[in-house]
Amino acid sequence: MTGLILASSSPVRAHLLRDAGVAFAVEPARVDEDAVKQSMLAAKHAPRAIADALAELKALRISLKHPGLLVLGADQVLEFENRLLSKSQNLEEARLLLQRLRGKPHHLMSALVLAKDGATIWRHVEKSTLTMRNFSDDFLDGYLAAEGEELLASVGGYRLEGRGVQLFSKIDGDYFAILGLPLIPLLSALREHCVLAS
């Protein structure tokens, strides 16, 4: 079996891989995501392409340091009203973001790239559409108090695997992709590349 490195510090991605029975090491790739996003937005690239480019950059950066091993890069971007949103820096920013998203749909692009020996060998991007319900300010206050600063780790200010699911009226997309790791296509790719038994 071939070794796998996850080039992400996301505990959710690691948890999903571990629960699926995948053996891997973690080595987060340090990249200036905001600079890449701004450059690509200036060049009029679509959100899907931006998510894919960020995942690829992470995978390639770590792959160059580990010859012979497979490296998984992952990234996720949120598009709302034709604009990319960034993670909130504090709970007040998260409150304002959730108020903007309230009652409206947004799109998550979840990208994965596998690299080996400094070359991309597989990629996948999945789009999910999530519609928030028109929740009350009282609900929002309670949600922010209960979730606290943990929700700042998510670009949308929610964890679908936790209380964040209560924010939504409709979800179109794969659950694992929304969490940041389109697991079913990834597992298929890992079998093809001998990380998992087929």
Catalytic residue IDs: 75
Say which residue the tokens 């799109």 belong to.
107
Burial class (CB in 10 A: 0-12, 13-18, 19+), 101: buried
Q: Going by C-beta distance under 8 Å and a sequence separation of 6 or more, which residues neighbour residue 44? A: none
Q: How far is CA 84 from CA 18, 48, 80, 185, in A?
A: 30, 11, 6, 25
Burial class (CB in 10 A: 0-12, 13-18, 19+), 144: middle
